[in-house]
Amino acid sequence: MLLSTPTSPHAHTPLDTSGLMRLVILATLPGVAALTWFFGWGTIVNIAFASLIALACEAFALYLRGRRVMFYLRDCSALVTAILLGIALPPGSPWWIIAVGIVFAILIAKQLYGGMGYNPFNPAMAGYVVLLISFPLEMTRWLSPLGTFEGSVPGLMEALQLCFGGGFDAHTMATTLDVFKQGAGLMVADVWQQNPQFGRWGGLGWEWVNIGFLAGGCYLLHRGVFTWHAPMSMLIALTAMAAVFYDGGSSASGGSPLMHLLSGATMLGAFFIITDPVSSAVSTRGRLIYGALAGVLVYVIRRWGNYPDAVAFAVLIVNFAAPFIDHYTMPRTYGHNRGGSD
Amino acid sequence: MLTDYSVLLISAILVNNFVLVQFLGLCPFMGVSNKLETAMGMSMATTFVLTLASACSHLTYNYLLQPLGLDYLRTISFILVIAVVVQFTEMVVRKSSPLLHRVLGVYLPLITTNCAVLGVALLNLNKEHNFLQSLVYGFGAALGFSLVLVLFAAMRERLAVADVPEPFHGAAIGMVTAGLMSLAFMGFAGIV
């Protein structure tokens, strides 16, 4: 057996904040590509417009506070927020929806708390929840994915028209989770057959979007951007909840575990949102609890709540619980007794 | 039967959370949430008093006010009942368990001014709950209050060291946070 013993200097490539954020942006690419393939250029337009406004807001807030504008802008954290929100919004959202969401996310959910590193809630999800509660109609209008109708999904010009002009005809249809919520009383096979937007496992297009984000997440995991604890425990908790309540037949039972894993924002939430290093729990045990709580809440709100997808709400609620979880899962410092007393 | 009561309980804890959805009991929510330890003490004391007070006010209304035709006195008599329950609790705790009194002592008199306590008593009346339902509703309201208070206190300890802009220090950022938490709790709408 060969034991390699390298001598010093042990050179590392330390990841600074902007490097980390660029990795995260890189890892969203497969998911964004899938979204663009199935739903047209809307997502790209969302992301571009959101990034523009996010950078402007961030610069404005930093200027007001007298901080070094370029230094903080270069850490790309505002860009990540913009990209996550752009992905979460329905493709082809009107420009003012994007603007309201991103202004809330950057100015209120992030900069009011002191900016990068202090925000207790995930800014992108806070912006999303504000939009979902304020404009439910616009926020649930998803275009129909490629392959459900004749013709194609919106191209770049049409997507721009949808965003800024509004005068463009496009097909919209309910998402898989939405159909499942409304379609109680049918057998799963019936729902599958009647609705062309159901794909093989989790909704046409959606399954590939989720697989895309899963691939990106695995890449980040491989690069050590976050640990496996929170995403794994969230996915396991969601699978377990779905498995317990799924009776294999009627759609009233809430869909199979596979459907829950591969539709909606599950993978985006598990790998890109709850792994946010600022707003999540920090201890190892804390991350396990934090992720499991998120998974359970996603299922509970999807299944019994009013809103078809629940990742944003679940994330805000677990963000809210994170300091408390941390307080009780603080690892014992070496040399001290349990319970913090010495 | 059992499902009805659990639905009532979950509704009072999460869906119609007294602090974040119905905006009752905001004074102790903002006032006692600076430290986790004090928030713990406050939430235990409130849970005890709220459950007891909702039962007592139910009895007062049904066996005293209504037979005598004194419905219009309900608000003032509920306030009296709550004050008495609080005072009584304080006396009992002081005599029976000095330790518990040290933990809860300061917070007990404060509960008299918690509008959630009066709110639960009046809501029980509005919703025509029977005795057991009043008790469960009061307990659920108290659990919801405690949950939110304790989580909020843990979060405020973290906010205390955050680099919050000068004009938003203290209560202001606390209010913003409470608003965001309220948004999060809207996700529970429709569960029961």
DSSP labels for A308-331? S--HHHHHHHHHHHHHHHHHHSPP
Q: To the nearest whole angstrom, how far is the Cα of A121 from the nearest Cα of chain B?
A: 8
Tell me: the pLDDT tens digits for A189-232?
555 555 555 555 556 678 888 999 999 999 999 988 888 999 99
Q: Is the pLDDT of residue A237 over 90?
A: yes
pTM for the full model? 0.87
Q: Is the pLDDT of residue A187 over 60?
A: no
Query: Does A108 touch chain B if contact means CB atoms closer than 8 Å?
Result: yes
Taking residues B59-72, what's their average pLDDT?
89
Query: Does A136 touch chain B if contact means CB atoms closer than 8 Å?
Result: no
Quote the pLDDT of residue A338: 63
Q: How far is CA A208 from CA A64, A197, A214, A261, A307, in A?
A: 43, 13, 10, 12, 23
Q: Is the pLDDT of residue A330 over 90?
A: no
- Considering chain B, what is the average pLDDT of its residues? 87
Q: Is the pLDDT of residue B79 over 80?
A: yes
Residue with tokens 């965001």: B180
Pairwise CB contact (< 8 Å): A112 & B164: yes
Size of interface A-B (CB pairs under 8 A): 91
Q: Which of B36, B156, B163, B166 to mutate to test the interface with A (most CBs of A within 10 A)?
A: B163
Q: Is the pLDDT of residue A184 over 60?
A: no
Domain boundaries, chain A: 16-174, 182-330
Pairwise CB contact (< 8 Å): B186 & A313: yes
Could you give the CA distance from residue A236 to residue A245 in angstroms, rounded to a whole number?
A: 14
Q: How far is CA A289 from CA A10, A281, A321, B192, in A?
A: 35, 9, 10, 25
Could you give the CA distance from residue A329 to residue A96 in angstroms, rounded to a whole number?
A: 42
pLDDT above 70 as % of chain B: 99
Pairwise CB contact (< 8 Å): A307 & B187: yes
Q: How confident is the model at residue A53 (pLDDT cuts 50, 70, 90)?
A: very high
Pairwise CB contact (< 8 Å): B183 & A321: no
Residue with tokens 């890109």: A272
Query: H/E/C letters for each residue in chain B?
Result: CHHHHHHHHHHHHHHCCCCCCCCCCHHHHHHCCCCHHHHHHHHHHHHHHHHHHHHHHHHHHHHHHCCCCCHHHHHHHHHHHHHHHHHHHHHHHHHHCHHHHHHHCCHHHHHCCCHHHHHHHHHHHHCCCCHHHHHHHHHHHHHHHHHHHHHHHHHHHHHCCCCCCHHHCCHHHHHHHHHHHHHHHHHHCCCC
Q: Is the pLDDT of residue A12 over 80?
A: no
At what angle are helices A29-39 and A42-64 packed, to 10 degrees? 130
Quote the pLDDT of residue A342: 45
Quote the pLDDT of residue B138: 93
pLDDT above 90 as % of chain B: 29
Taking residues A244-268, what's their average pLDDT?
77
Using the Cα atoms of residue A56, residue A59, residue A63 and residue A65 in order, give the sign of their dihedral: positive
Taking residues B91-110, what's their average pLDDT?
78
Q: Is the pLDDT of residue A98 over 90?
A: yes
Asked if A129 contacts A310 with a C-beta cutoff of 8 angstroms, the reply is no
User: Which is higher by pLDDT, A147 or A320?
Assistant: A320
Could you check whether the bond before residue A9 is cis, i.e. omega within 30 degrees of 0?
yes
Q: How confident is the model at residue A54 (pLDDT cuts 50, 70, 90)?
A: very high
Asked if A231 contacts A285 with a C-beta cutoff of 8 angstroms, the reply is no
Q: Is the pLDDT of residue A88 over 50?
A: yes
Pairwise CB contact (< 8 Å): A300 & B173: no
Quote the pLDDT of residue A223: 87
Taking residues B26-49, what's their average pLDDT?
85
Taking residues A300-320, what's their average pLDDT?
87
Pairwise CB contact (< 8 Å): B186 & A133: yes
Per mean pLDDT, which range of A88-102, A198-212, B101-115 is the poorest?
A: A198-212
Could you give the CA distance from residue B144 to residue B15 in angstroms, rounded to a whole number?
A: 9
Q: Is the pLDDT of residue A257 over 60?
A: yes
Pairwise CB contact (< 8 Å): A126 & B180: yes
Using the Cα atoms of residue A189, residue A194, residue A195 and residue A198 in order, give the sign of their dihedral: positive
User: Which is higher by pLDDT, B61 or B191?
Assistant: B61
Could you give the CA distance from residue B14 to residue B4 in angstroms, rounded to a whole number?
A: 15
Q: How confident is the model at residue B153 (pLDDT cuts 50, 70, 90)?
A: very high
Quote the pLDDT of residue A140: 77
Q: Is the pLDDT of residue A186 over 70?
A: no
Q: Is the pLDDT of residue A94 over 60?
A: yes
Tell me: the pLDDT tens digits for A127-170?
999 999 998 888 877 776 766 655 566 777 777 777 776 555 55
- Considering chain A, what is the average pLDDT of its residues? 82
Q: Is the pLDDT of residue A235 over 90?
A: yes
Longest dimension (CA), chain B: 59
Strand partners of residue A250: A187
Chain A residues within an 8 Å CB radius of B150: 324
Longest dimension (CA), chain A: 71
Q: How far is CA A178 from CA A195, A303, A324, B53, in A?
A: 11, 10, 33, 43
Chain A residues within an 8 Å CB radius of B162: 113-114, 118, 120
Q: Is the pLDDT of residue B22 over 60?
A: yes
Query: Does A126 touch chain B if contact means CB atoms closer than 8 Å?
Result: yes
